[in-house]
Amino acid sequence: MKVLRWVAGLVGVAFAGLLLFAVAVRFADGPVGAFPGGPLADGPMVHAPVEDWGFAEAVELIELQLMEPPRSRTTWILVAEGRAFIPCGFPGIKLWKQWPHQAIDDGRALVRIEGRRLPVQLARIEDSGLEQRLGEDMRRKYPSSAGVELEVWYFELTPPEGQRGG
C-alpha cells in the first residue's frame, strides 16, 4: 500500500509539473515543442505580401499564431505551385484542436518561418481536387502521415486583407 501511495504521489507531482509547464509556455515567444505558446514576438516582420512561397518548400516546421486568440503552435507547411498551405489533422476534435475553428471565424494570423514573421490570412480550402493533391504532397513530404486515414483540413496562406491585390 505504501508503494502505491508513493507511485500515486509521483504521478501527481509529474502531472502538476507538466500542467504548470503548459501554462507557463502560453507566455513564451512562440510554441515550445508540441506545447502551444504565446504571441510570436521575435524576428523581423516582413510586410510585403508573398508572391511565391517556394522559399518555404523545404521547410519542415513553421510557427503559426492566430491573432485572436493570440496563441502560437508548431505546424507543417506545404507549398504547391508557389502557394502555401497548412494542413490540420483531427479538426473534428474541438477539445484538442480549437485553432482551425478559430481560424475560420477570424483568419488573421502570423507565421514565423526561419526567424522571419509574416502576416497572413488563413483561408480554408474546400476544393476536393486540391485537397487530394495536397494530401499526396503531405504524404510525400511527411512520410509519418502516410497510411494514416484521418480528416484533414487545409488552409491557404494568403495576403492579409489590406494587402490583397484586386
How many Å apart are CA 88 and CA 90, to the nearest integer?
A: 7
pLDDT band, residue 120 (cuts 50/70/90):
very high
Share of the chain above pLDDT 70, in %: 80
Share of the chain above pLDDT 90, in %: 60
| Structural domains of the chain, count | 1
In a domain, 102, yes or no: yes
For residue range 28-51, list pLDDT tens digits in order. Answer: 668 887 788 999 999 999 999 999
CA-based nearest residue to 105, from 67, 142, 137, 132: 67
Residue 164 pLDDT greater than 70, yes or no: no
pLDDT of residue 14: 52
Residue 151, SS3?
coil
Residue 129 pLDDT greater than 70, yes or no: yes
Instruction: Say whether pTM exceeds 0.85.
Output: no
Residue 75, SS3?
strand
Q: What is the identity of the amino acid at 32? A: V
For residue range 60-105, list pLDDT tens digits in order. Answer: 999 999 999 999 999 999 999 999 999 998 887 776 789 999 999 9
In a domain, 99, yes or no: yes
In a domain, 53, yes or no: yes
In a domain, 33, yes or no: no
- For 84-146, what is the HEC assignment? EEEEEECCCCCCCCCHHHHHHHCCEEEEEECCEEEEEEEEECCCHHHHHHHHHHHHHHCHHHC
Instruction: Look up the domain containing 51 and give its range.
Output: 38-163
Domain containing residue 129: CATH number? 2.30.110.10
pLDDT of residue 7: 62
In a domain, 9, yes or no: no
In a domain, 60, yes or no: yes
pLDDT band, residue 12 (cuts 50/70/90):
low
Query: What does DSSP assign to residue 48?
Result: S
In a domain, 8, yes or no: no
Q: How far is CA 104 from the centre of its chain?
A: 14
